[in-house]
């Protein structure tokens, strides 16, 4: 299935292919403040429809994850990182996807605060 997503103002737009089987809710200092529900996909399934210059990037802690956000509306639609095997991955903030019933998807809790 193909999902369409964007930041709040629409400056950042993207498509992502796949099936959402579960979401992750992380309690780290950043994710908990943003209230993100994350879906992880291989980078090849993510298609950015706007130029990279449309977003800003924030890193913290070990600087392994590039948290992208819209400099206009502040929304955080996705982040880039690699999985433990070194494969490029994208974490999608599913709250930024259109027409997804988040209440119907299993949420796994991740203790990022203590890692």
As for how many domains the chain has, the answer is 1
Residue 22 is encoded by which pair of tokens?
């579960």
Chain-centre distance of CA 89, in angstroms?
Answer: 10
Domain membership flag for residue 85: yes
In a domain, 23, yes or no: yes
Asked if 113 contacts 66 with a C-beta cutoff of 8 angstroms, the reply is no
**CATH number of the domain to which 42 belongs:** 2.170.150.70
Asked if the structure places residue 107 within a domain, the reply is no
The domain containing residue 41 runs over which residues?
2-102
CA dihedral of residues 84, 60, 76, 115 (deg, nearest 10):
50
Contact 106, 22 (CB under 8 A): yes
In a domain, 34, yes or no: yes
Whether 114 is covered by a domain: the verdict is: no
Print pLDDT tens along the chain (115 aa): 999 999 999 999 999 999 999 999 999 999 999 999 999 999 999 999 999 999 999 999 888 899 999 999 999 999 999 999 999 999 999 999 999 999 999 999 999 888 8
For the entire predicted model, the pTM comes to 0.92
């Amino acid at each position: 299935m193909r999902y369409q997503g964007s930041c709040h103002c629409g400056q950042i737009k993207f498509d992502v292919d796949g099936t959402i089987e579960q979401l992750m809710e992380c309690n780290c200092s950043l994710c908990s403040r943003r209230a993100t529900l994350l879906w992880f996909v291989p980078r090849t399934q993510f298609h950015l429809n706007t130029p990279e210059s449309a977003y800003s990037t924030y890193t913290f802690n070990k600087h392994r994850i590039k948290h992208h956000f819209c400099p206009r509306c502040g929304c955080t639609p996705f982040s880039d990182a690699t999985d433990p095997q070194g494969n490029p991955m994208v974490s999608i903030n599913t709250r930024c996807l259109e027409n997804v019933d988040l209440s119907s998807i299993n949420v796994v809790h991740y203790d990022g605060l203590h890692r």
